Amino acid sequence: MGRETKETEEKRKTRHKMVVVGPHVSIITLNVNGLNSPIKRHRVAGWIKEQDPTICCLQETHLSPKDKHRLRVKGWRTILQANNEQKKAGVAILISDKVDFKAKQIKKDKEGQYIMIKGTLHQEDITLINIYAPNTGAPKFVKQLLIELKEDINNNTIIVGDLNTPLTPMDRTSRQKINTEIIELNEKLDQMDLIDIYRTLHPKTAGYTFFSSAHGTFSRIDHILGTKANIN
């Protein structure tokens, strides 16, 4: 009985430490390839509820600026999005009602290729950038966007999205060498102290996110990037 009491006390102390450090935050990202179908919206909403993330980032929503209501998911009332009038591209960020989030600044483009939000999450500064890179010239697009947003990127920045490009040969089943544009993008990431979080934590696991039926190949073109200082 005495040992049980001691274990309970230890657990209480540990739990208290976790509370002091701050609540757990999870971020998920998904290319939804269009959300104009009610059935698909229902499936995506169900998936978000099942995953129960703090922040959910979606790409290729194919919604117009007036379609915010189509992104509603119970429990994720904060919805920030960038859309194209022609219902192309489109990115969105949904933030859970369970967290104390306050937006301070929002940047986005009219093409619906990216949205950046700066704010506080439980009084801690956070900058989140959600990107949908075009199918052609993706590495160049991402590199240029990073240059444009350089002043906004700091140790509290997390970049997610469909970058439409593998960053290493391991990110393709073909193990094809990466081209000059991808090399230049990696150099820019390195200059900005940004790392591919998945590849850093899983250096030998492929973890593909996309299948090309045309080429019969798998690749990892969806990424979550963070600063080296913030990897822990």
Give the H or E element holding residue 189. Answer: helix 180-191
C-alpha–C-alpha distance, residues 92 and 60, integer Å:
9
The residue behind tokens 């040992």 is 3
Report whether 60 belongs to an annotated binding site: yes
Answer yes or no: are the C-beta atoms of 146 and 155 closer than 8 Å: no
User: Could you tell me whether strands 114-121 and 210-212 are parallel, antiparallel, or unpaired per DSSP bridges?
Assistant: unpaired
Check the annotation: does 179 bind a ligand.
Answer: no
**What H or E segment, with its residue span, contains residue 17?**
helix 2-21
The Cα 218–Cα 95 span in angstroms is: 30
CA 189 to chain centre: 16
H-type alpha helices, 122-179: 138-148
222 known ligand binder: no
Extract the annotated binding site for Mg(2+).
31, 60, 162, 164
Extract the annotated binding site.
31, 60, 162, 164
